[in-house]
A and B are shown apart, each in its own frame.
Chain A
């Protein structure tokens, strides 16, 4: 006997309201010392005094680092000089290349651990340290490795020679990547290095030192002294340094240029910026919105080339603001170790205070504040990503480099006005142009006084692509063939 066909039992769709679970990167396998002094002559050395560096997302101390004294700096410079004379200047270029290749490979092999440490010490989202900082750092060594034995082809038959010992001072926003930007070309060109990492983010430099040991880099070829600005000053003013390379604020850059006056030391400066991101009415708007977002919120806005001034053609201002408001609401701010975090922790208490002061100035000067509605963690240094509308060029938030996730939205009517406004700043590091019209893009790009122009893109970096500023954003280039010049004597 057959049963009658029943109405099948079914289950309804689950209710809406899909929330991502925390997806924390595991920190089980990372290891680091509780205390580091310096790295001199191929060895980790003790310091006379120490300071603590924290995880800005938890405010907990990670480790202690040496506060480099003048004497310790001197030891490091002597080691670099010895490294230059005894080893590096006698290492055939093709062997120098192989060391650098080796370092690139080791960076790739240790990438996960380094990315986690970069995030723990710096506060940047793990997806950025994993997908941007580490791959680019390895790529930088890989790229310059190949130059080491091809320098005679770099500058049209000119004679080239290394400078000697380079003193390098780097900032806290891309600690390992900046170290790579500085060290790779210096070594490829045959120089030796003393590098000082920023006092809030010295951890990955120490891990890089381990990699140099693992790579069997001869002693003294790269030395790290830890410490604050005083250590940096002692380094750049050391009489036995031939070359100084600094990345950081324009204020400190100015001081270094002044201190170096008359010394004959070669100098390159990569300083601040107040990049204009220009959106024309014919732009691919949805992609432009992404470009605006990554332009200012990438790495919490701790980016010297950030697109911190948004110049929108007046006819699409409201449309852009509506989309920005929507996009802001989808940003995920929080634990930098969460793989789904878009905006992480502000690097330090001091930087957070500065950003918050500017949020106040924005309102005070008459602009309208729009902050992401996201919840912020109770501990650590966090700020809601923010843009201001109704900003006038005279407002402090429109003129000063804030170095945080704060965007100033301004308008223009014609391409000519866009160019004039974009150029109306003492800085000249970066600019973005969004338009679907190629000829307009090239015309505007040619008129902008900035070292890096992103057409229909923003915050793209590559080892082969020179980076550096016009005007008060500094001089000299890092990356690409032009990035060799700061580390070579060129005759011809």
Chain B
């Protein structure tokens, strides 16, 4: 028997199911999406969004060279424009953590790594924990784990809880983001339940998706998760971070997410410490918008590096 986050593990009772009304949550998300963000607010929002990006590459073909390029872009997204901040983190597979760590050394840009049999989570717990420990030792500041959807969909919530709690322990000083893979949970009620469960188990961040399953992040799913974070904060006074990931491709999308965080959780969450956007092509679209603001002319991708 052990205690995690104030809860005796063996005595853990899953949170009560709380309903989410799908139509209403989608309507609210759509309504927030109509906010008109212009001029200085747009500029500030876009800069903020850059600082919140977990610049991600999660391909079988990733190599040290690719990761170093990405790190350079993360630290200084647009050379020559010192007003544009670094991204929040670079997100890679565990074997590339050391490369990223070295490339980002001293920059303040965090190294995030996916673990626990990412993306499927179909694996043995002991092996998952071992992977987490080695990844943290290799220099990861943040671990993005996936929940065991097999256990979750079978109703074995205690197993899901235990795995998260054990991973929190295995992370040591590293922060843990818990990926729910909402596209596989499908209903908002289950997303809400899984969010609460992950928070109860000690997640520092909750995250929508691996990016390997469609649909990945959506505005309504994010809203549901933000509302769980808000409720947890109301109840306990403790903040939990949020990371929508996958499918966020445009500056316009990014601003919609920012509006949603701003109006659901408020100012305190409007920082890379509490909100991240898991994305790859998003950064270039934001850079093009920022260049458009500077130049007064629409920009082209030909002036931006890959990644």
Touching in the complex, A and B, CB below 8 A? yes
Q: Please, how many angstroms separate the alpha-carbon atoms of A457 and B34 in the complex?
A: 20
* Contact between B48 and A20, CB atoms less than 8 A apart: no
Q: Please, how many angstroms separate the alpha-carbon atoms of A233 and B34 in the complex?
A: 42
**Which residues of B have CB within 8 Å of A326?**
230, 234
B20 close to chain A: CB less than 8 A: yes
Interface centre among B28, B72, B258 (most CB of A within 10 A): B28
* Contact between B85 and A287, CB atoms less than 8 A apart: no
Q: Please give the number of chain A residues whose Cβ is less than 8 angstroms from any Cβ of chain B in the complex.
A: 35
B267 close to chain A: CB less than 8 A: yes
Closest chain B residue, CB of each to CB of A287: B24
**Which residues of A have CB within 8 Å of B42?**
21
Query: Which residues between 17 and 75 of chain B lie within 8 Å of chain A, taking CB atoms?
Result: 18-21, 23-25, 27-28, 34-42, 44-45, 47-48, 51-52, 72, 75
Give per-residue flags for A413-442: 1 if the beta carbon is below 8 A from chain B beta carbons, else 0.
000000000000000000000001000000
Closest chain A residue, CB of each to CB of B267: A16
The smallest C-beta distance from B38 to any residue of chain A, in angstroms, reads 5
Closest 9 A-B residue pairs measured CB to CB? A13-B51, A287-B24, A23-B36, A436-B19, A7-B106, A339-B36, A284-B21, A287-B21, A284-B19
The smallest C-beta distance from A439 to any residue of chain B, in angstroms, reads 14
Query: Which residues between 333 and 375 of chain A lie within 8 Å of chain B, taking CB atoms?
Result: 339-340
Q: Which stretch in B76-84, B111-119, B245-253, B298-306 binds the other chain?
A: B76-84
Q: Could you tell me which B residues sit within 8 Å of A by CB distance?
A: 18-21, 23-25, 27-28, 34-42, 44-45, 47-48, 51-52, 72, 75-76, 82-86, 88, 105-109, 224, 227, 230-231, 234, 258, 262-263, 266-268, 270-272
Known interface pairs A284-B18, A284-B19, A287-B24. Does A322 touch B39 (Cβ–Cβ under 8 Å)? no
Known interface pairs A8-B107, A131-B34, A287-B21. Does A18 touch B262 (Cβ–Cβ under 8 Å)? yes
**Which residues of B have CB within 8 Å of A21?**
37-42
A12 close to chain B: CB less than 8 A: yes
Given A12-B85, A14-B85, A17-B267; 18 other pairs, CB 8 A cutoff: A8-B75, A10-B85, A10-B107, A10-B109, A11-B76, A11-B84, A13-B47, A13-B85, A14-B51, A17-B270, A18-B48, A18-B270, A21-B37, A284-B21, A287-B25, A322-B234, A339-B36, A340-B36
Known interface pairs A9-B82, A16-B270, A16-B271. Does A286 touch B40 (Cβ–Cβ under 8 Å)? no
The smallest C-beta distance from A279 to any residue of chain B, in angstroms, reads 12
Q: Please, how many angstroms separate the alpha-carbon atoms of A237 and B107 in the complex?
A: 81
A456 close to chain B: CB less than 8 A: yes
**Which residues of B have CB within 8 Å of A8?**
72, 75-76, 106-107
Known interface pairs A21-B38, A287-B21. Does A10 touch B76 (Cβ–Cβ under 8 Å)? yes
Query: Which residues between 1 and 54 of chain A lie within 8 Å of chain B, taking CB atoms?
Result: 7-14, 16-21, 23
Q: Can you list 13 A-B pairs with a CB-CB distance of less than 8 A?
A: A8-B106, A8-B107, A9-B82, A11-B76, A11-B86, A12-B85, A20-B35, A20-B41, A23-B36, A286-B20, A326-B230, A339-B35, A340-B36
Task: Tell me which of B23, B34, B270 contacts A127 (CB under 8 A).
Answer: B34
Q: Could you tell me which A residues sit within 8 Å of B by CB distance?
A: 7-14, 16-21, 23, 127, 131, 282-288, 290-291, 322-323, 326, 330, 339-340, 436, 456-457
Known interface pairs A14-B48, A14-B51, A127-B34. Does A286 touch B25 (Cβ–Cβ under 8 Å)? yes
Q: Please, how many angstroms separate the alpha-carbon atoms of A330 and B224 in the complex?
A: 17
* Contact between A18 and B258, CB atoms less than 8 A apart: yes
**Which residues of B have CB within 8 Å of A339?**
34-36
Known interface pairs A7-B106, A21-B41, A285-B18. Does A12 touch B263 (Cβ–Cβ under 8 Å)? no
Q: Please, how many angstroms separate the alpha-carbon atoms of A144 and B52 in the complex?
A: 50
Q: Please, how many angstroms separate the alpha-carbon atoms of A436 and B107 in the complex?
A: 49
The smallest C-beta distance from B150 to any residue of chain A, in angstroms, reads 27
Q: Please, how many angstroms separate the alpha-carbon atoms of A477 and B45 in the complex?
A: 47
Known interface pairs A290-B24, A456-B23, A457-B24. Does A19 touch B108 (Cβ–Cβ under 8 Å)? no
Interface centre among B24, B25, B76, B262 (most CB of A within 10 A): B24
* Contact between A12 and B18, CB atoms less than 8 A apart: no
Q: Please, how many angstroms separate the alpha-carbon atoms of A290 and B224 in the complex?
A: 13
Q: Please, how many angstroms separate the alpha-carbon atoms of A131 and B33 in the complex?
A: 13
Q: Please, how many angstroms separate the alpha-carbon atoms of A456 and B27 in the complex?
A: 12
Q: Please, how many angstroms separate the alpha-carbon atoms of A322 and B86 in the complex?
A: 37
* Contact between B19 and A20, CB atoms less than 8 A apart: no
Known interface pairs A10-B76, A21-B38, A290-B28. Does A457 touch B45 (Cβ–Cβ under 8 Å)? no
Closest chain A residue, CB of each to CB of B47: A14
**Which residues of B have CB within 8 Å of A14?**
44, 47-48, 51, 85
Known interface pairs A21-B39, A339-B36. Does A10 touch B19 (Cβ–Cβ under 8 Å)? no
**Which residues of A have CB within 8 Å of B34?**
127, 131, 339
Known interface pairs A12-B85, A14-B85, A127-B34. Does A286 touch B227 (Cβ–Cβ under 8 Å)? yes
Q: Please, how many angstroms separate the alpha-carbon atoms of A52 and B234 in the complex?
A: 50
Q: Please, how many angstroms separate the alpha-carbon atoms of A481 and B211 in the complex?
A: 47
* Contact between A11 and B19, CB atoms less than 8 A apart: no
Known interface pairs A286-B227, A340-B36. Does A10 touch B25 (Cβ–Cβ under 8 Å)? no
Closest chain B residue, CB of each to CB of A22: B38
**Which residues of A have CB within 8 Å of B109?**
10
Q: Please, how many angstroms separate the alpha-carbon atoms of A13 and B86 in the complex?
A: 7
Known interface pairs A7-B106, A23-B38, A283-B19. Does A291 touch B24 (Cβ–Cβ under 8 Å)? yes
Closest chain A residue, CB of each to CB of B271: A16
**Which residues of A have CB within 8 Å of B268?**
16
**Which residues of B have CB within 8 Å of A323?**
234
The smallest C-beta distance from A171 to any residue of chain B, in angstroms, reads 25
**Which residues of A have CB within 8 Å of B52?**
13
* Contact between A19 and B41, CB atoms less than 8 A apart: yes
Q: Please, how many angstroms separate the alpha-carbon atoms of A10 and B83 in the complex?
A: 9
Closest chain B residue, CB of each to CB of A127: B34
Closest chain B residue, CB of each to CB of A14: B47
Q: Please, how many angstroms separate the alpha-carbon atoms of A53 and B29 in the complex?
A: 37
